[in-house]
Amino acid sequence: MTGTYSSEYDQDFFLGIPYSQPPVGNLRFRAPAPLTTAWRGTRNATEYSPQCIGYGADTWVLGNYVSEDCLTLNVVRPSGDQKDLPVGIWIHGGGLFNGGSSDPRYNLSFIVQQSTYARAPFIAVSVNYRMQAWGLLFGQEVLDQGADNLAFRDQRLAMQWVKENIAAFGGDPNKITIWGESAGARSVGVHLLAYGGRDDGLFRGAIMQSGGPASDYQTVAQAQPAYNNITAAANCTNATDTLDCLRQVPVDVLSNIFNSTSIKAGFRSAVAIDGDFIRQPGYTALREGNFIKVPTLHGRNRDEGTDFAVKGINTTEQFKAAVSSNTTTQAILAALYPDIPSEGCPETLVRFKSVQILHVLTSSTDRPSSAISRIARCAMEAHRTVHKRQQTTRSSSRRLSLPSSAQRDSIQLRLQRAPSRRGCHCRSLSLCRGLFRLCQHAWCRV
């Protein structure tokens, strides 16, 4: 196999490697078929393959370079004679309806480079998989043919390919970690639950960024209306085998159906509960311990939620109206996300930590106490004080200017009735204190 060398990163790239037979013709809407023959001679692996067909900005921004024949993977390794390096398999995000491994954000060069600098080099693999209805079509007819959850079955076959072949690239097949973000993280979660938590030895660890296994599942009954709508749009309703009929529809015609407003409105790119690959909802599987027990890293990417935020908010009042109808919640959020661009609005590490507390607070059955309102008012005044002083006194390093001791004392005096065990409901006590810790940088004190 011939790859390409990157002098900028001192890495070898092997791109567009097929791990499955092309899922076209009679193999459309079927579980991915393993390769049964080896290629002869030297295979060119210097260019990405097209992405799988998707519908969204992650796909269109790259020129909509897509194909039904897309089940490939890419290998990025530190250049040279490598041996027994750990391996990370990256599963891209995109809502399970768009995106692909050729997205420049996911080319893996930077993180492999950093691993080399850290003297802990590893080999990275990225994977294409079928999306939207191409990979997540569901209904009774799909279930009967074992053609559900194809997106995840694609990913799993890619893992098997890596397990069997990565040693040829210098990787250790016993040191594989699966890793993904958003829908990729959901995919990682699905593989932890697959087949009731059966461990096939495909990976030894899992990393989930901004996603997980506990949400967005569907049953046959929930998926059937969308399947019926698709078969009707494709004139397959009266066919003896409606799924086989869909296999005969020209790819462009079927893609236009999948991308139509009426079909997209009713279709969910959700995990199918099929009684085989996925046997129960994620939250039930986790509660009952039906998952693979491997070391797991699970977290969120900072400030990622702004991608889904309401656009066109320019004032504090617009912000408050958009986030909640509850005035107390509005006050807290406005305090934690002040209109101070120099602080890095809308995100700083301190405010990021607050999201976890606010999520629990706003979902709690306890009523927020008046003490919470005092915390919010304190935080707001503290931010205003910092901002006002910053406008009048700026250091050459542009560091955040701090209030004087007199100003801090003034803020503290406003908190003489600060939360205590009496001031907060018992369930909310830690939250009250947590909110105070968040604004300690502004000298709010319990």
Lowest mean pLDDT among 166-175, 255-264, 377-386: 377-386
DSSP state of 232: H
User: Which pLDDT band, with edges at 50, 70 and 90, does 399 fall under?
Assistant: very low
Q: Is the pLDDT of residue 106 over 90?
A: no
Q: Is the pLDDT of residue 68 over 80?
A: yes
Rounded CA separation 376/383 (Å):
11
DSSP characters over 148-196: --HHHHHHHHHHHHHHHHGGGGTEEEEEEEEEEETHHHHHHHHHHHHHH
Comma-separated ranges of CATH 3.40.50.1820 domains in the chain: 4-219+271-301
Which tokens is 220 given? 């046959």
Q: What was the pLDDT predicted at 346? A: 52
User: Which pLDDT band, with edges at 50, 70 and 90, does 426 fall under?
Assistant: very low
Q: Is the pLDDT of residue 409 over 50?
A: no
pTM for the complete prediction? Answer: 0.74
Segment 12-25 shows an average pLDDT of 97
Using left for φ > 0, alpha for ψ between -120 and 50, and beta otherwise, residue 94 falls in left
Q: Is the pLDDT of residue 159 over 50?
A: yes
Q: Is the pLDDT of residue 9 over 60?
A: yes
Tell me the CATH architecture of domain 4-219+271-301.
3-Layer(aba) Sandwich (3.40)
